[in-house]
Amino acid sequence: MPERFEIRLSGSGGQGLILAGVILAEAAGIYEGKFVAQTQSYGPEARGGASKAEVVISDGEIDYPLAIKPDVLLCLNQKACEIYFQDLKPGGTLLVDATLVHDLPTLEVIAIPFTRIAREQVGREATANIVALAALVAITGVVSIDSLEKAVLARVPQGTEALNKKALDAGIAAAQDWLKEKRLPEI
Amino acid sequence: MPERFEIRLSGSGGQGLILAGVILAEAAGIYEGKFVAQTQSYGPEARGGASKAEVVISDGEIDYPLAIKPDVLLCLNQKACEIYFQDLKPGGTLLVDATLVHDLPTLEVIAIPFTRIAREQVGREATANIVALAALVAITGVVSIDSLEKAVLARVPQGTEALNKKALDAGIAAAQDWLKEKRLPEI
Amino acid sequence: MAEVTKLIHKYLRHEKKFPHVWCPGCGNGIILGALIRAIDRTGFTKDEIVLVSGIGCSGRMSVYVDFNTLHTTHGRALTFATGVKLANPKLQVIVVMGDGDATAIGGNHFIHAARRNLNLTAIIINNSTYGMTGGQYSPTTPYGALAATAPYGHIEHPFAIAELAVTAGAAWVGRGTTYHANLLDKLIEAAILKRGFAVVEVITHCHTLFGRKNVLGGPVEMMQWQKEAAVRLEKAKTMTPEELAGKFTIGVLTDRDLPIYTQEYRKIREAAEAAMIGKGETQ
Amino acid sequence: MAEVTKLIHKYLRHEKKFPHVWCPGCGNGIILGALIRAIDRTGFTKDEIVLVSGIGCSGRMSVYVDFNTLHTTHGRALTFATGVKLANPKLQVIVVMGDGDATAIGGNHFIHAARRNLNLTAIIINNSTYGMTGGQYSPTTPYGALAATAPYGHIEHPFAIAELAVTAGAAWVGRGTTYHANLLDKLIEAAILKRGFAVVEVITHCHTLFGRKNVLGGPVEMMQWQKEAAVRLEKAKTMTPEELAGKFTIGVLTDRDLPIYTQEYRKIREAAEAAMIGKGETQ
Amino acid sequence: MTEEQSPATETAEPKKYDIDIYRAWCKECGLCAAFCPKGCIKLNDAGAPVIEDSERCTGCGWCELHCPDFAISVHEREKTIPKEEAD
Amino acid sequence: MTEEQSPATETAEPKKYDIDIYRAWCKECGLCAAFCPKGCIKLNDAGAPVIEDSERCTGCGWCELHCPDFAISVHEREKTIPKEEAD
Amino acid sequence: MPDSGKNGRTLLLQGNEAMVAGALAAGCRFFAGYPITPATEISEAMSYQLPAVGGTFIQMEDEIAGLGAVIGASLAGVKAMTATSGPGFSLMQENLGFACVAEVPCVIVNVMRGGPSTGLPTHVAQGDVQQARWGTHGDHAIIVLSVSTTRECFDLTVKAFNLSEKYRTPVIILSDEVVAHTREKITLPPAAEVEVVERRRPAMPPEWYIPYEDTPQGVPPMGIFGDGYRYHVTGLIHDVRGFPTERPDEIVPFLERLYRKINQNFFEIQMVDEYLAEDAEILIIAYGSVARSAKRAVDDARSQGLKAGLIKLITLWPFPRRLLEPHLKLVRAVLVPELNLGQISREVKRINQGLTRVVTLNRVDGYLITPEELVERLGKL
Amino acid sequence: MPDSGKNGRTLLLQGNEAMVAGALAAGCRFFAGYPITPATEISEAMSYQLPAVGGTFIQMEDEIAGLGAVIGASLAGVKAMTATSGPGFSLMQENLGFACVAEVPCVIVNVMRGGPSTGLPTHVAQGDVQQARWGTHGDHAIIVLSVSTTRECFDLTVKAFNLSEKYRTPVIILSDEVVAHTREKITLPPAAEVEVVERRRPAMPPEWYIPYEDTPQGVPPMGIFGDGYRYHVTGLIHDVRGFPTERPDEIVPFLERLYRKINQNFFEIQMVDEYLAEDAEILIIAYGSVARSAKRAVDDARSQGLKAGLIKLITLWPFPRRLLEPHLKLVRAVLVPELNLGQISREVKRINQGLTRVVTLNRVDGYLITPEELVERLGKL
Ligand SMILES: Cc1ncc(C[n+]2csc(CCOP(=O)(O)OP(=O)(O)O)c2C)c(N)n1
Ligand SMILES: Cc1ncc(C[n+]2csc(CCOP(=O)(O)OP(=O)(O)O)c2C)c(N)n1
Ligand code: SF4
Ligand code: SF4
Ligand code: SF4
Ligand code: SF4
Ligand code: SF4
Ligand code: SF4
Ligand SMILES: [Mg+2]
Ligand SMILES: [Mg+2]
């Protein structure tokens, strides 16, 4: 039974989570040759409140396509964080958008203000999904930054490549900042 | 298993066979308290060529509703005679309309010109079915003439009672003539 | 004139048993004759013609003629025809339906086919009743008429089939009768030749059921009525509403040039091919 | 004006979760408001009203209001409504349908309901697309528009819903928009009060799908378009075809007095009772 | 039928026609007999169409166009053409 | 809206109105702000409608009639009516 | 046309006509349908008789509309019915599922003819037995009765209405062309002698009414439109109030209740008729017109010394397993004759699990299996 | 949207998208349908890709029209497909029967969602398995395949077209919401590597062509409209020439051939995938998305020392009895997990006839059965 690595991206309907999931799956599947299964919640649920996209990555064929116990959980809003935190694998990574998630369910959390970064540094709030995805990749190393970049540029609408590159860079930078800061107190 | 008496009335679509079947069934069922099952062939077949109506009469409940081996077969056209004669019970009664059936399949046949009688004596060709039914009843005694008359008068359209009564009488008379004639050579 | 009959025989399926199933004097046979003559005049070969029919007395037409013939489910003839035509636009697809078939169970397909404007010919045989099932009321049964399911007189008002086709978007719409057989030949011929969705409503008689129930006489009397009640559209324009009471119009109701579906779809194919090439180049 | 909101609250189902499911700015909410106000003005009680809806974004309306509510199968709302009305003619039956619901899958029921003239009110929420399933083209999607199933531009021409209703026989037909809310209130009120089959076509916006695909902006821009493109029928009569290009008309298209079905059916009952008595006497 | 040209008018000299009824297909509906403008066809007692007088026939074609069973055909009476010419 | 009588015109003396937005239901669609003829409502940076100036409000009712979420209501500003009278 | 609307009289009626008489006796006051052979006589008799008793007949534009209107009428409190044959029954499947989910009592008659597709419109068949169980999408339970005589056409139509009202569920009656068109003598019971069940209506104040709340029988009382119990009816899976839900803890109890209300009450719903089955060594299991041939065949076989017996199925679904199993254990063989390629025999085999030998006799040429054929087959077992 | 029309490339595709790729690879050039969740992506991808390869996409006014147009297109010689979900599938039943009787090759995809009725439109279910077999009226045979991965969505769509062409019959593919929407990596084979079967066409002169004549395989060659082999197509039972018949000696051979052509070729049509089934003591029989959970559960169980195995059904109908029976004889128990109340388990029980213990695990709340649930259940067997 090959090892699985499971990522859940959660938030509300309009935050571009499915696109982020697809990009991550393509980065792993197409650009790194892994097996991947990507799913999402459909329906009214997906139009507001808590919705989610999942990516399962493995070296072997993937049987059950949904996340069993996510290794990584990204939450872009408060509601999603409340609902999905309990599913996180013990010791798994919780990443939240500090702009929108204020009540944290644990101290073991990486809180980065993705939305604010998107708005202020990238100049377009709608790129928060890419900022967050970049940070997630930078922190977890689930795929290489290079694969991620390829996947992002192949998926986003023509003409928005530069903007998304900027979002990627901002996300990576934020992650590195966090990693540094985080390590500091620990040392 | 109670005894069954089976009658098949055959001819072409427009000859009023179903009505004749229904009348006979009502005569036996409603006016003589017997059990009856009345069926007919439906569909394109019924619009031309050989079509049939059947009446099964019994003192007990009737299981199989179709004629198995008719005790009496009435044929109002040549085609019907050809097709259905083979089904007649050995020793059963074959009654044909001598106006329209010319090739007889057997010598044991009662051939009476119902259509001609209807046209000439009753004054309406369309009453041939009633003429024939009356003759059939008179010859076989399957129901009483009285029950038959009641059933006929209850079923036919208002205003045609006299005509149909005439047809009944003509049929009975023809049957009696035939019975007389028939007996003569035998004696 | 014997050529007329010869010509008919050229198109009949002689392996089928004749005479056909219809009642003596039924208008379906007259319409079948008109249809064959019209097709012959258009010059299309037997192989090019697809005759699609629905379910009903009228629907039995397809079995008798030596074309590609398709007897569909009740009411769905136009949907099958749509598939045939889109799959092979070179085929001339003619759809024969009863009034019940086309406007009761099949009414939606009818208005949508009119809206879409595929190059199809729809012939609607309007005998004011469901013949096949025994004379129940149809969407064209007149108010007050008797029917097997209207034993006390019908309380609904009928569709004006041809007018409905016009509003729904049909490119060409005509109405004829079985009495006016020459006109009918011409209407059907024009409808087949029309590039676009063309509808011919044929007023005909079902004397066996509708006629008998309503004491309208046999085929002779009912065709006599057609003769008397039908008014050419051109003439109707000069008549007052009072004069037109109890009459109906025959002729060509509309003839308009609209882009046909398969033509338009060619544009989609071109756009799609261009889009794919575009993608191929950039990726 | 707060009475307006108070009045709305009088009719909402407070055990249901609000806000409702529709997208921010969706016209369905505006129409729901107009419907409630219109019903209130008619004076019918909640118990007397049956609100029947189809399947679609618009179809979700029935869940929110405190009437007898019936959310049917896709396209069949008018058939269910027909049964309700015939079973209890005292009920006021209002049927809310999307353009897809009423004129794609439900088109046949629509024209037949119009022809039959039951005393029903049909409100057709025309947002030019299938909202619920994600913006595929509907029978009202304009020629050339983009849709989820028309990625290269749509090649079909739309139905004129209100006009189709007129030809099919509806007693009363009106058209309004979500922009012209006061007019809409009045149209719906008149439609409910009309004795006969009454149709209100409401032009509205699905900015989330139709608007976004066709770069028409959000609810504000799309309602701005309604404001500019809508022309009162009375005014349209004074305009040239050129002036009317790109516009559509609003107002009452037809209002005619036709015998309603349930009234007519009463005659059938009387005839039937008489026939049975007749039989009883003679037998 | 009024505005439609009947074949008979195409030629000045009055032609003669033969009327054939194909009995196997004829269903005796009576349409031909009822509508023949010249009364060439009558129904016999059994209801079958019979040719009353083909001399009067103008070859107008009504009967042939309207017979629902393709059971009647009308053709110009053949002049006795010499065999050679006919080939 | 032109030919429809707006409630504000019913009285000569200009009335004052309060505009309430029920935040729990408002979906911030922006319709009220875009179409208020007097510009009483604006959207804030987060896209939420806020009352810019209720003094200008004529009580025309556009916003209340058109809010798809029944989230805005406009009512005549209460004159400080003596308690007794109010009952 | 005999007047089958008056009770207490002896008449000669077709199966189709007797159904109309049964429906009227059961309180049916609404019929919507679309004509189709061999069910048309039901429409026609309804159009004639319903208005005379204050009911309503309407011919709709198709069968989908027919069942739609029937559901609407039932929701408005009037007992309602439609009738069709195979092609129309196929079209009704979507709305049939709606009636199951929304728990709307109604009766649907399918007079079976030869299929598939347009098939053999005027000939007898029994090809829609599995369809009646599985024709609509999604899991559902359903009650299906089968008729074999004019008498049963009356009695079981009454029963169908009663079951549908009691369990708030559509009930399907499968008839066939032979039963539908055979005329038999029938004495219609006076109205007072007909047991008629009405749906349970809510008795609590409207504010307390929870329209889809569970009850011991699994059947909630039913408000009808206009009676003050305003509630929501939908084909979406709904909570106890009738509102759409996606919560597993509301979905599962609802779907299970739908299933349970039919299946837990099997003792009332499942009916068979036994004929000489007690001491039988060979058993025929049959239904519909074939059961008539089978009865005769049993008599014939017995007169030839063969201990044959018959179980006539009246309830086809839920399949009367518990009534059949005991017999399977006792007999040498079971013969399942059907006018199809083996639809009920499939169920007999499923429950058989090696108990006895199950033999089929299938006929699909449009004609009824004859007693003779059956006797011959029995002789070979 | 990834371009799934080009072959030989690795893409991330949803099951729905992979079906479109498979259809195009199999030569499908016509699609007519009506949108419905969760099948809509099939329509959408078809509308985008078909015109680029010279094909035609049309959205019809409803599902009935969709299948009608598909049948028409196939008769005119173009491979055709439609896709829907439960409600639309119910509506298609009448025309499905037509395609069976008229022997028109075509492919119908049903992406299952929660039912019955409108049900749970966005949730996964497997409630239409028996409907796929029995949904249309009248006896008929049918081929139904089930997909569980994006790869299979491609491969089995190709297979479905091939079977439909070879046997002149509609083929149904049952997918489900999870399979339809899961994105997986897939390498599309180059066109040359895809085995594509074309219907057998008549080779004799047109005058000799007898369109419905029996052949050893039971499948007559098929003329297409316009190719010179003019013949009659009807949903009525017909003789070998295609003309309606009521003669038993023509009806019976025809209906039997329809049945035989599918059932005698079971060895080609019936497919299952075995996973550790050989030495299994406990066997899971599963299909669709549930088979994915089951595979994981087998692994998990084995790692806990339980000798579990899996048979994944690919062909659901005709039910692969001969492939399963040998296993039933060898195992201690069979677990049949399904997202319904027990539809395939019914068939397993039917063929079991006492061979082993058959246990079910049913889930109908709109969610996929998890490997955990399965392992737990296996542990208790
Ligand atoms: C789905 C379905 N419903 C009903 C029928 C029964 N049926 C056959 S033909 C017909 C109506 C025929 O009327 P019309 O289309 O006017 O044709 P006509 O017989 O009058 O020529 C009906 C209702 C059917 N075959 N299929
Ligand atoms: C039989 C059936 N087919 C398809 C669907 C899927 N479906 C649900 S709503 C809808 C169309 C919605 O369009 P419209 O009626 O215009 O309503 P809107 O969502 O735009 O308000 C469709 C196709 C369905 N529920 N049932
Ligand atoms: S029943 Fe009517 S329509 Fe049918 S064949 Fe006879 S006359 Fe013609
Ligand atoms: S998708 Fe369109 S129609 Fe549906 S709620 Fe959103 S805006 Fe309204
Ligand atoms: S019209 Fe034709 S079928 Fe009718 S009587 Fe004349 S020849 Fe015979
Ligand atoms: S061709 Fe004209 S004139 Fe001659 S028989 Fe026929 S209808 Fe009469
Ligand atoms: S119109 Fe209503 S929902 Fe929209 S912004 Fe204003 S208050 Fe909010
Ligand atoms: S009532 Fe009129 S003026 Fe006042 S805020 Fe609303 S839209 Fe503006
Ligand atoms: Mg008709
Ligand atoms: Mg819409």
pLDDT per residue over B59-102, tens digit each? 999 999 999 999 999 999 999 999 999 999 999 999 999 999 99
Q: A51 pLDDT band (50/70/90 cuts)?
A: confident
Nearest to H261 by CA among H198, H217, H220, H302: H217
Reported as a single tens digit per residue, the pLDDT across F38-77 is: 999 999 988 999 999 999 999 999 999 999 999 999 999 8
G318: preceding bond cis by omega (within 30 degrees): yes
**Is D90 an interface residue toward G (CB < 8 Å)?**
yes
pLDDT digits (tens, 9 = 90+) for D36-65: 999 999 999 999 999 999 999 999 999 999
What is d(CA G14, CA F71) in angstroms, rounded to the nearest whole number? 63
Q: Are G335 and G374 in contact (CB under 8 A)?
A: yes
Q: Over the Cα atoms of chain A, what is R_g?
A: 15
- Tell me: cis bond preceding G38? Omega within 30 of 0 counts: yes
Residue C21: closest C-alpha in chain H: H244
CB nearest to H97's CB, from G90, G259, G354: G90
State how far the Cα of B64 lies from the Cα of B73, in Å rounded to an integer.
18
pLDDT at residue H4 in the model = 40
pLDDT at E2 over 70: no
Any idea which ligand is nearest the CA of F64? 8
Q: Which chain E positions have a beta carbon within 8 Å of C224's beta carbon? A: 34
Contact G165, G219 (CB under 8 A): no
> Is residue H8 exposed (0-12), middle (13-18) or buried (19+ Cβ within 10 Å)?
exposed
Q: Which residues contact E86 (CB under 8 A, 6 or more apart)?
A: none
Handedness of CA C179, C182, C183, C186 (dihedral sign): positive
How far is the C-alpha of C42 from the C-alpha of B85, rounded, in Å?
Answer: 52
Does residue F38 line the site of ligand 8, with CB under 6 A? yes
pLDDT, tens digit, 9 for 90 and up, residues C27-83? 999 999 999 999 999 999 999 999 999 999 999 999 999 999 999 999 999 999 999
Mark which residues 246-285 of H lie under 8 Å from B by CB: 246
User: CB–CB of F65 and D33 under 8 A?
Assistant: yes
pLDDT-derived band at E82, boundaries 50, 70, 90:
low
User: What integer pLDDT is reported at residue F3 of this predicted model?
Assistant: 43
Could you tell me if the CB of E62 is within 6 A of ligand 6? yes
Mean pLDDT (chain A, rounded): 91
Cα(G306)–Cα(A184) distance, integer angstroms: 97
Tell me which chain C residue has its CA closest to the CA of residue D139.
C112
Give the closest residue (by CA) to ligand 8 atom 4.
F57
Determine the residue of chain H that is closest to C48 in CA distance: H226
pLDDT tens digits for range D163-182: 999 999 999 999 999 999 99
The model's pLDDT over D217-228, given as tens digits with 9 standing for 90+, comes to 999 999 999 999
State how far the Cα of H86 lies from the Cα of H174, in Å rounded to an integer: 10
* pLDDT of C140 above 70: yes
| pLDDT band, very low/low/confident/very high, at A38 (cuts 50, 70, 90) | very high
Whether B1 shows a pLDDT value over 70: the answer reads no
pLDDT band at B181 (very low <50, low <70, confident <90, very high): confident
Chains H and F touch (3+ CB pairs under 8 A): no
Return the half-sphere exposure (C-beta side, CA atoms, 13 A cut-off) of residue G313: 32
Closest by CA to A88, choosing from A68, A66, A112, is: A68
* pLDDT at position G156: 98
Query: What percent of chain H is modeled with pLDDT above 70?
Result: 98
Question: How many residues can be counted in chain B?
Answer: 187
End-to-end CA distance of chain F: 36
C-beta of residue E38 within 8 angstroms of C-beta of residue E48:
no
Q: How far apart are CA B172 and CA B135, in angstroms?
A: 5
| Structure token pair of residue E2 | 């009024």
In the structure, ligand 10 is a single-atom ion and the residues with CB under 5 Å from it are D 98-100, 127
| Rounded Cα–Cα distance for residues G161 and G79 (Å) | 8
D-chain residues near C160 (CB < 8 A): 167
For β-strands D198-203 and D121-126, DSSP reports them as: parallel
Pairing verdict, β G183-187 and G10-14: antiparallel
- Min Cα–Cα distance to chain G from D276, Å: 7
Distance CA B2, CA B35 (A): 10
Among H24, H75, H210, the strongest candidate for a mutation testing the C interface, having the largest count of C CBs within 10 A, is H75
pLDDT for residue A180 = 86
Q: How confident is the model at residue B2 (pLDDT cuts 50, 70, 90)?
A: confident
Inter-chain CB pairs, C–E, below 8 Å? 89
Chain D contact residues (CB < 8 Å to A): 21, 23
Neighbours of chain D (3+ CB pairs under 8 A): A, C, F, G, H
Average pLDDT, chain D: 96
Partner residue facing G251 (CB), from H346, H352, H366: H366
Q: Whose CA is nearest to atom 5 of ligand 1?
A: G36
Cβ atoms of G73 and G30 within 8 Å: the answer is yes
pLDDT band, very low/low/confident/very high, at A45 (cuts 50, 70, 90)? very low
| Residue spans of beta strands (DSSP E) within G115-205 | 120-124, 143-146, 170-176, 183-187
Give exposure, C101-125, as e/b (b: 16+ Cβ within 10 Å): bbbbbbbbbbbbbbbbbbbbbbbbb
A 10 A CB-CB count for C269 gives 17
Any ligand 1 atom below 6 A from CB of G87? yes
Check pLDDT > 70 for residue D216: yes
Do chain G and chain C touch with ≥3 beta carbon pairs under 8 Å?
yes
CA distance G97 to G136: 6
With an 8 Å CB cutoff and a minimum of 3 pairs, decide whether chains E and H touch. no
pLDDT beyond 50 at E86 = no
Instruction: Give CA–CA dist G272/H61, Å, rounded.
Output: 45
User: How, if at all, do strands F49-51 and F41-43 pair?
Assistant: antiparallel
User: Contact D134/H35, CB-based, under 8 Å?
Assistant: yes
CA distances from C118 to C82, C162, D265, H378 (A): 7, 17, 40, 58
Confidence of residue D16 (pLDDT cuts 50, 70, 90): confident
**What pLDDT is stored for residue C214 in this prediction?**
97
Q: Is F19 in the pocket of ligand 7 (CB under 6 A)?
A: no
Helix (H, G, I), strand (E, B) or coil at G132: helix
Q: Which of H364, H336, H331 shows the shortest CA–CA distance to H350?
A: H336
pLDDT tops 60 at residue E87: no
Question: Which one-letter DSSP state was computed for residue C113?
Answer: H
Pocket of ligand 4 (CB under 6 A): D 22-23, 26, 28, 57, 127, 131, 206-209
CA distances F63 to D216, F30, F36, F59, H9, Å, are 22, 10, 6, 9, 54
Which of E10, E19, E31, E65 for mutating ligand 6's site (highest number of atoms within 8 Å of CB)?
E19
Report the run of H or E that residue C102 belongs to, with start and end.
Answer: none
> Rounded to whole angstroms, how far apart are CA atoms A131 and A101?
16
Higher per-residue pLDDT: C281 or C146 = C146
Quick one: average pLDDT of A81-90? 94
Q: Are D61 and G42 in contact (CB under 8 A)?
A: no
- Return the number of CB contacts < 8 Å for A and D: 3
Query: In angstroms, rounded to a whole number, what is the distance separating the alpha carbons of residues H111 and H126?
Result: 9
Q: How far is the CA of E83 from the centre of ligand 7 (A)?
A: 98
Bond from prior residue into F7 cis (ω within 30 degrees of 0): no
Contact of D207 with D25, CB cutoff 8 Å:
yes
Q: Give A22's pLDDT tier (boundaries 50, 70, 90).
A: very high
Residues 36-95 of G with CB under 8 A from C: 36-37, 40, 43-44, 47-48, 51, 57, 59, 61-63, 87
Three-state secondary-structure class, residue A98:
coil
Interface ipTM: 0.96
- What pLDDT is recorded for position A49? 66
Chains F and G touch, using 3 or more CB pairs below 8 Å: no
Tokens of G153: 């056409």
Element (H, E) at C191: helix C181-193
What stretches in chain H show pLDDT beneath 50? 1-7
- Which one of D55, D97, D202, D203 would you pick to mutate in the ligand 2 pocket, going by the greatest count of ligand atoms within 8 A of its CB? D55
Whether the CB-CB separation of D96 and D35 falls below 8 Å is answered with yes
* pLDDT number for residue D255: 98
pLDDT in tens, B106-125: 889 999 999 999 999 999 99
Per-residue model confidence as pLDDT tens for chain G (381 residues): 344 444 468 999 999 999 999 999 999 999 999 999 999 999 999 999 999 999 999 999 999 999 999 999 999 999 999 999 999 999 999 999 999 999 999 999 999 999 999 999 999 999 999 999 999 999 999 999 999 999 999 999 999 999 999 999 999 999 999 999 999 999 999 999 999 999 999 999 999 999 999 999 999 999 999 999 999 999 999 999 999 999 999 999 999 999 999 999 899 999 999 999 999 999 999 999 999 999 999 999 999 999 999 999 999 999 999 999 999 999 999 999 999 999 999 999 999 988 999 999 999 999 999 999 999 999 999
Helix H or strand E encompassing D187: helix D181-193
How far is C239 from C232, CA to CA, in rounded Å?
A: 11
Contact flag D149-H34 (C-beta cutoff 8 Å): no
Report the DSSP beta bridge partners of residue G335: G284, G359
Looking at all shown ligands, the one closest to residue F57's CA atom is 8
Structure tokens at H143: 């081929």
Using an 8 Å CB-CB cutoff, list chain D residues near F11: none
**Minimal C-alpha gap between D1 and chain H (Å):** 39
H9–chain G nearest CA distance, Å: 37
